[in-house]
Structures are given as C-alpha cells and as structure tokens.
Amino acid sequence: MTAKRQAQGSRVKYLPIFLNLDGAQVLIVGGGEVALHKLAVLQRTGAEITVVAAQPLAQIAARAAHGGLRLVVREFVPEDLQDMRLVIVATSRPAVNRWIAGHCEARRIPVNVVDDREASRFIVPAIIDRDPVMIAVCTGGAAPVLARRLRERLEALMPQRLGELALWLGTLRGAARRLRGTATRRRYFEALLDGPAARRFVDGDRRGAFAAAARLLARAAHAPPAPGEVVLVGAGPGDPELLTLKALRALQDADVILYDRLVAEGVLELARRDALRLCVGKTAGRASMSQQAINAALVEHARRGRRVVRLKGGDPCVFGRGGEEMQALAAAGIAYSVVPGITAALGAAAYAGIPLTHRDHAHSVSFVTAHADHDGKEPDWRALAMPGQTAVFYMGLSRIEHIATQLLAHGAPPDRPASLILQGTTASQRVIVGSLRDIHGRSARAAAVSPALLIVGDVAALHAELGWFHNDAAAPLSASA
C-alpha cells in the first residue's frame, strides 16, 4: 500500500499489540472484584505483580500468601510506580483513579483505568484464549458488552485444540526448512491447514496428522517451483460486504494485488496484510498506467511464481477490460481464472431501489459505456431511445449532457425518467433523480463526482417509491430538488 493511501485510510485510535510481560513489573491499584479479575488474567503472563490496596479482598490476600504476587496493604503513593512497566487502576474512586493515571502519564508508563477510557493509555480487550493462540476483541472501550458477545461467538467457532495445533505446526517448521523459498514454505503450511493433516490433528488423530504432513512435505520437497497464476477478481460496486466468498479467499492467498483506483478501501483491508499492493487505476485527465503496462505487470509477477490478484471494481468483464487482460495472459502462457463480482449496474441500482427490469415498465436492459470506442463509434442511440428500455451508462458523468441530447435527438421523450447514482452501495451514496430534460442541470447543481452511474428509463422513477438504502449524511436528491 502506498504511503498516500495509508494516510487516506481510517484512523485507528488503539494499536492492537500482544505484550510480553514475562518477568516485567506490573502494578494493580485496588483490591476489589475488578482488581481480582485483572489479577487472574495477569498472573498467567509471568509478570511480577504488585497489588496496592487499603482493603484487599480475601481472595487477593490468599493469592499473595501463596507467593503469586506482592501485596501492599495501604493507599497508593506515587513512589509505587518506581520500575513499573504497566499499571492497572481499579479503585472505586474516579477522582483518585485519574490522579494515579496522571502520575503514570508523567512517567510514560502505560496505564489502564477500569471503566474510564479517556484516562487510559491502553485497553484490556475481551480475549479468546487457546494458548499460544490468542484472539483479542476490542471496541475501543465504547461497547464492552458487544466485545463480550463477539468473544462468545468466536469461542464457539474456535476448536479447543487450536492452541495445540499451533504448537504442532511450530514443531514442523524445522523440517520445512528443507523447502526452497519462503513462498514454497508458506504454501506448504497453507496446504497443511486447509487439508486433512490439520483436520485429523484437531479431531485427535495425531498419528494420521503426522502421516499426512510427512506425505505433503515429501511432495513439496520434490515438486518443481509452483507456477505463478493470476486471478481477475471483481471487487463489487463499493460495499465490502458484497464481495463474494471466493473473492475473499483469493485476496487472502494473493502475493501481489494490482487494484483499480475506485476499489473500496474496505475491500483492500480484507487482503493479506503482507501482500504487495500496486494501484494501477486510471483517472480521467491524469497520467496513469497504460493498459499495456498493466498487462505486462501481470505477466511479469506471475512468471516470478507469484499468486497475483487483479482487483477490479464491479465485475472484471463488464467495462473492466478484463477480456484484454485475459488475452494477454493467454498469449504469455500464464494460468488465470476469473472471480466475477457484482457489477456496478446491479449493485448501485439495487441499493437505489431501481429494478432494472419490471414487467410494467421495462422488458430489456442495456449496459452502455458512455465513452466512444477507439474509432469514435457511438452507441446505437435509436435503440436506446426506444420505449420499454432501461439504459445504464457507465462512466457517464462527464458526458451526461451529450447522452441526454443524443437520446432526445433519437426519439426519447424529454420527460423520460433519469437517475444518477453517486458512490453507489456506500455510506456516501446519493441519488439524483429527474428526466432527460433536466438531469444534466441537476447533476451540475449537486456538484456530482465520480463514481457515478446513469440510469435512463421508466424504472428510474421508481427510486422515489422503492428507495430503501438511505444515509442522513448523503440523503437522496428528489426530482423536486
């Protein structure tokens, strides 16, 4: 991911980290039920714990008596922070808690004040514990009950032997060093997890698991380097939840991702974190990577044995030039596959409450690129202007006046409904509705920006009746706007 795109990403207030506290000095201030709960978690880390409390619970005193911690029975004093690496404050007095937190901040000691996220430097998440596998769930302190509910659901999905599986996989790393290259070793472990070896281990069949792992290792050791491949993946129209399961799997497996400019940030966040990400999108009126250069990059990365995802907004083969990329890959002898996506016309129209066909209004639908092809040939305007048609124009915002003029000149009535959908399926979606007579003026007054999709036909008027996806920050613009 480029530095610019990182800067444009959503802000994260809390960095999720796992802290090694073995042998570290940790202080808990407070001796009630909350302190006891925090103590129970911290004692498993190997930290050297001190509890300072004027009236500690008997259970805390009992733990101290068994040598598991140091208990100081008195009120907190600032000198208690000496040499501490971490502090948890859990007294019943909010003012005292903040006073202690202030001393921690002055000494740059990370502090958590229970039930006071504003005074805390870190938050203790809800934890799913399958040691050494740990899954932490955090809501930034905004909704602890939600975090607990999520933990409960994840607990039900996580096998009890998950931690043992992780340890077993760790024992196989030594044998896997005989495999050449990081990519080959990663694919070996992926095959372990996705195949019978891991299933047998989790089911308790250790002998069968070791046998399956040995067979897999032998095949991987003698197999030639895995050839590269390219998957053309449709990212959908914007909403990350419209991504298909197969597309998600491809993103998780990719070594390299070449993505378009309009691919939603939320979709990219679902990709493997260490994958190389290259923005190759085109922007009207700006210098951009040519299609020939994109084709060459796909071939080059695949020839290096990498798993490449070409991530396109909508569907790769609906005005996405996926066909040209497949031709280039086929000519180069590169293996490829296609994962279709929900194209912009289907996704944006559905979210705008506009059925593209309707037996009372439209018996056919045409998907049209608003740009003339390389030899200047225009769409069949007469056919698009016929009654009973729905015409969906991709990339039509800059030519919206030309589109309306041509449809009117070829027989479409001025009052034929037209809707312009901006940022379809996202939280910023807006719908500008009007007719061929005024849709250009309405879009100009609304300062419409891409991505935008223009729908012309009687069904476009159904947005007023059927529109269901609304956002207060980007309310639809009605025909009377």
Please identify every residue annotated as catalytic: 260, 282
Question: What length does the chain have?
Answer: 481
Cα 193–199–202 angle (5° rounding)?
105
> What is the dihedral sign for C-alpha 445, 447, 450, 452?
negative
Q: What is residue 226's three-state secondary structure?
A: coil
Summarize the chain as % helix, strand, coil (round to 5). 40, 20, 40
The CA distance from 107 to 118, in Å, is 18
Bridging pattern class, strands 256-259 and 430-435:
unpaired
Taking CA atoms, 50 is separated from 24, 26, 42, 305, in Å, by 11, 6, 11, 54
DSSP 157-206: HS-TTHHHHHHHHHHTHHHHTTSSSHHHHHHHHHHHHHSHHHHHHHTT-H
CA 406 to chain centre: 41
Strands in 290-395 per DSSP E: 307-312, 335-339, 364-369, 389-394
The CA distance from 368 to 384, in Å, is 9
Nearest partner of 354 among 439, 452, 466, 442, judged by Cα: 466
* Helix count and strand count (H, E) for the chain: 19, 17
Nearest partner of 110 among 101, 118, 41, 125, judged by Cα: 101
The CA distance from 117 to 112, in Å, is 8
> What is the dihedral sign for C-alpha 341, 367, 286, 436?
negative
Q: What is residue 49's three-state secondary structure?
A: strand
Residue type present at position 12: V
At a CB cut-off of 8 Å and minimum separation 6, what does 409 contact?
381
User: Which structure tokens are listed for 384?
Assistant: 């698009």
CA 36 to chain centre: 37
